[in-house]
Amino acid sequence: MDPDQFDLVVVANRLPVDASLDDDGTVTWRRSPGGLVAALEPALSAGGAWVGWPGAVDLDLGPFEVEGIALVPVPLSETELAEYYEGFSNATIWPLYHDVITPPGYHREWAEAYRTVNRRFAHAAARAAAPGATVWVHDYQLQLVPRMLRSLRPDVKIGYFLHIPFPGVDLFAQLPWRREILEGVLGADLIGFQRAGDASNFRRAVRRLAGLATHGTAIQVTPVAGPPRTVRAEPFPISIDFAGLDAAAQRPEIQRRAADIREELGNPRIVFFGADRLDYTKGIRHRLKAFGELIESGELQVPGSILVQVASPTRDNVVAYQELRDEVETTVGRINGDSGTLTQVAVQYLHQSQPFEEMVALYLAADVLLVTALRDGMNLVAKEYVAACWDHGGVLVLSEFAGAADELAQALIVNPHDIDALKSAMLRAASMPAAERRRRMRALRRRVKDRDVNYWASSFLSALKETK
């Protein structure tokens, strides 16, 4: 086998590494944290490679290796980043696939950039794949890659996994390039989704918009050239590194940090916690509205109750995200101005990413995690919180519109659009008896432990291996 070819090739928008500049000007690459690379590390180290963008524009690198993992960089220009990533991926596909919470933009130059970049990824994957290799393509930025790759390398087995929701057919039908996207994804042998409903939405779109027959989870594809194929579209809910989170949460220094956090907050009776990217899909505005009304009515009081909201910066160049940040920060200021004291705020707002150890400490310090997503493929924060609650003391309030709700039935499941119901769930969580908290959390932890990220990756790859 060619030393530059690999039996397993993972294709994702980003390489799993971050660059740092040393004092002497040397660029050093370090592996970024993430469950996917951890789950695939054994296979990648034994003859696999990862194809992706290195994270900086106009950076044309050859293949390199970091911590035993072969990396194949795909370059992007500044214009391509703006049109393929910020444009078509995040201002067209992202809002469309998240139920048009904000209106998508349909621009032909964005679509052309998306094609160009997807073709570049497909060629990079084709060069990296050994004869008969397995190629696993990830997420909404690369929906055209499976078909392009199949035309280049019909000998390889192709899997595709969509990490975000797939919309209902009436919404998806708005996309001018809907047929091209469907045909692109159908280049795969196995298509994975977070929820059964997402897989069902995809199969309905295929029947109605591409005229293909389906039977159960199978889709019959008859290409213009080549023999008929059967493609499977099925749910494979993603998960987390349960063992790693659980072990971190039991480290004495992280437990001490959690105690320090509560002290810094004024040792309140109840700490509500939200941790999200600052994204309009996460329901941060709904969460703040519910909390603010509870404070205003006196059902929760300051001091005594506090909401800690971590909102990681994301897509700052997209107008919808700039507007969301302004609205969230205005709301936080109003709640604190109306309800805070000289020594205690009602909402502790952090518009910054937190390191892994600090996030685990925040999970431990929280009495209640609020996941109020308006639409979410999975929401791994919910599962991370469960893994961190080794003492069974926390309560999870979880939106029914997050994929995690399918698995985490012992959470308090809510409709975040129903502010009164959300307020009731928050009050119930705050006053839940210890025995009920422990019972619910034990069941949640069993589920997340049994279906961790290793289970997810091995399940998908095993199913892909069995496809014909």
Catalytic residue positions, numbered? 163, 376
Where helices occur in 129-195 by DSSP H, the ranges are 145-152, 169-172, 178-185
**How far, in Å, CA of 148 to CA of 120, rounded?**
10
Count of C-beta atoms within a 10 Å radius of residue 333: 13
Contacts of 329 (CB under 8 A, 6+ apart): 349, 351
> Are the C-beta atoms of residues 29 and 18 closer than 8 Å to each other?
yes
**How far, in Å, CA of 87 to CA of 76, rounded?**
14
> Are the C-beta atoms of residues 355 and 379 closer than 8 Å to each other?
no
> Are the C-beta atoms of residues 381 and 276 closer than 8 Å to each other?
yes
Distance of CA 71 to the CA centre of its chain: 22
Question: The tokens of 406 are what?
Answer: 């399918």
Name the helix (H) or strand (E) containing 42.
helix 35-45
Distance of CA 211 to the CA centre of its chain: 31
> Cα Rg for the chain, rounded, in angstroms?
23
Question: The tokens of 96 are what?
Answer: 């469309």
**How far, in Å, CA of 287 to CA of 301, rounded?**
16
